[in-house]
């Protein structure tokens, strides 16, 4: 509507420039009045561009100055005594009426149009315009507001319908994501917990062996994470699923991982994959170098950023030296930089290691 009304006003200004340059070029006051109309239009458009909509104050000032006072200025000081010489100032009233219909409510629009019709009627009576010309112009004033009002209403209604359709689509996509995640968990439960319980129930394995106890501990940790992630949470499926794969891979190699997911933001699938790969390397570093069998992984959101931390309470190392087979520089920092993220390492001998992954940086 901002663009439509600006183009409508532009057509009227072009007509004004043509009229003044052809018939009243020797009257400086006419050029001054035309400049006033251009300045008022620029004010309305600048305010609309700044706020994303036409503003009532700017439109009200435009309706008063351009729509109501300009014709009387042309008559009183510009020497416009005939309908042809005052017509270009009257023409601007149509776009002022349309602007008012977009900016104001029904009551405000009715008041603005009534004021414009009254002043323009007086203006045409002053120059003794033909009744048919006057009636045609007043009709254009009224229907400029009606057309603008109807068009604004239609666009708002279509926008509301589009918003509703987008909401339904997003809701359906969220439901599909939750369903896909549930199926993934069901498959994982079938291949892990259910398989372990079935083997124990059939007596095929000794539940008291160290290997079986470790396996049961890993699967209990997985069940705990699954229970903590309720269906009511917003699906952050890509990053959560990718990190869960990293955790399960580390657990399969004998590392105990306590994982917590505190509403991490949704991220694109390729970003989730790279972050999970960096987290996998951090977990591998714990398993191979930390001197402990327990790590802590946390995924959360911080001001719209994804933040993943991997912490251990192992032997630690000098944070100034990331060489010697730790793999953090190549596998973690490089991966995160490639996707516009950031990896930081906080470590000290005897105090463990904290690796933080942020996306975006």
**Strands 294-302 and 305-312, how do they pair?**
antiparallel
Give the C-alpha separation, 75 to 84, whole Å: 12
For residue 79, what pLDDT is reported? 83
The two structure tokens encoding residue 42: 């620029």
Q: Is residue 202 part of a domain?
A: no
For residue 324, what pLDDT is reported? 43
For residue 325, what pLDDT is reported? 46
Give the C-alpha separation, 243 to 233, whole Å: 17
Give the C-alpha separation, 209 to 202, whole Å: 16
- For residue 285, the SS3 value is helix
Q: Is residue 179 part of a domain?
A: no
Q: Are 13 and 41 in contact (CB under 8 A)?
A: yes
Q: Is residue 272 part of a domain?
A: yes
**DSSP letters along 106-164, please?**
HHHHHHHHHHHHHHHHHHHHHTT--HHHHHHHHHHHHHHHHHHHHHHHHHHHHHHHHHH
Instruction: Quickly tell me which residue has 């950031």 as its tokens.
Output: 342
Identify whether residues 128 and 266 lie together within a single domain: no
Identify whether residues 340 and 254 lie together within a single domain: yes
- Domain CATH code at residue 256: 3.30.565.10
Q: Are 94 and 117 in contact (CB under 8 A)?
A: no
Q: Among 162, 179, 210, where does a domain finish?
A: 162
Identify whether residues 100 and 248 lie together within a single domain: no
Q: Is residue 210 part of a domain?
A: no
Identify whether residues 143 and 270 lie together within a single domain: no
The two structure tokens encoding residue 140: 């254009």
Identify whether residues 141 and 22 lie together within a single domain: yes
- Phi, psi of 82, deg, nearest 5: -120, 155
* Cα 55 to Cα 50, 64, 116, distances in angstroms: 10, 14, 19
Write out the residue range of the structural domain in which residue 71 sits: 2-162
Identify whether residues 36 and 158 lie together within a single domain: yes
The two structure tokens encoding residue 54: 């036409």
Identify whether residues 17 and 137 lie together within a single domain: yes
The two structure tokens encoding residue 81: 């005594």
C-alpha 164: how far from chain center: 16
Q: Is residue 350 part of a domain?
A: yes
Identify whether residues 247 and 152 lie together within a single domain: no
Identify whether residues 43 and 133 lie together within a single domain: yes
Question: pTM score, two decimals?
Answer: 0.53
Rounded mean pLDDT for each run of 10 residues along the chain, 361 residues in total: 90 91 86 93 91 89 93 88 89 93 92 94 92 93 94 92 92 81 72 73 74 73 66 58 85 83 84 88 86 90 86 83 56 86 88 90 74
Q: Among 112, 131, 162, where does a domain finish?
A: 162
Q: Among 129, 162, 195, where does a domain finish?
A: 162
Identify whether residues 264 and 117 lie together within a single domain: no
Give the C-alpha separation, 361 to 272, whole Å: 14
Q: Is residue 104 part of a domain?
A: yes
Q: Is residue 196 part of a domain?
A: no
Q: Is residue 94 part of a domain?
A: yes
């Amino acid at each position: 509507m901002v663009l439509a009304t600006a183009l409508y006003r532009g057509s009227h200004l072009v007509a004004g420039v043509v009229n003044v340059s052809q018939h009243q070029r020797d009257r400086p006051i006419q050029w001054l009045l035309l400049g006033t109309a251009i300045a008022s239009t620029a004010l309305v458009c600048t305010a609309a561009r700044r706020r994303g909509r036409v503003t009532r104050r700017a439109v009200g000032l435009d309706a008063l100055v351009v729509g109501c006072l300009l014709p009387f200025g042309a008559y009183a000081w510009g020497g416009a005594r005939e309908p042809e010489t005052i017509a270009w100032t009257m023409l601007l009233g149509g776009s002022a009426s349309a602007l008012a219909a977009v900016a104001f409510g029904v009551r405000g629009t009715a008041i603005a149009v009534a004021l414009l019709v009254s002043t323009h009627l007086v203006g045409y009576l002053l120059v003794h315009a033909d009744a048919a010309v006057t009636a045609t112009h007043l009709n254009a004033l009224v229907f400029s507001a009606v057309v603008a009002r109807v068009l604004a209403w239609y666009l708002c209604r279509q926008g509301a319908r589009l918003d509703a359709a987008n909401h339904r689509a997003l809701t359906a996509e969220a439901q599909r994501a939750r369903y896909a995640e549930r199926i993934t968990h069901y498959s994982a439960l079938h291949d892990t917990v259910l398989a372990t319980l079935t083997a124990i129930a059939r007596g095929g394995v000794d539940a008291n062996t160290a290997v079986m106890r470790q396996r049961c501990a890993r699967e209990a940790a997985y069940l705990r994470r699954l229970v903590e992630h309720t269906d009511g949470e917003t699906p952050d499926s890509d990053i959560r699923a990718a990190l869960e794969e990293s955790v399960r891979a580390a657990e399969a190699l004998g590392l105990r991982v306590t994982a917590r997911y505190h509403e991490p933001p949704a991220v694109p699938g390729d970003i989730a994959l790279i972050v999970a790969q960096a987290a996998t390397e951090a977990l591998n570093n714990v398993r191979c170098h930390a001197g402990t069998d327990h790590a802590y992984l946390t995924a959360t959101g911080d001001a719209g950023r994804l933040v993943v931390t991997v912490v251990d309470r192992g032997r630690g190392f000098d944070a100034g030296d990331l060489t010697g087979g730790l793999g953090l520089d190549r596998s973690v920092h490089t991966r995160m930089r490639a996707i516009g993220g950031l990896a930081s390492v906080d470590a000290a001998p005897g105090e463990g290691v904290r690796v933080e992954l942020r996306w975006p940086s």
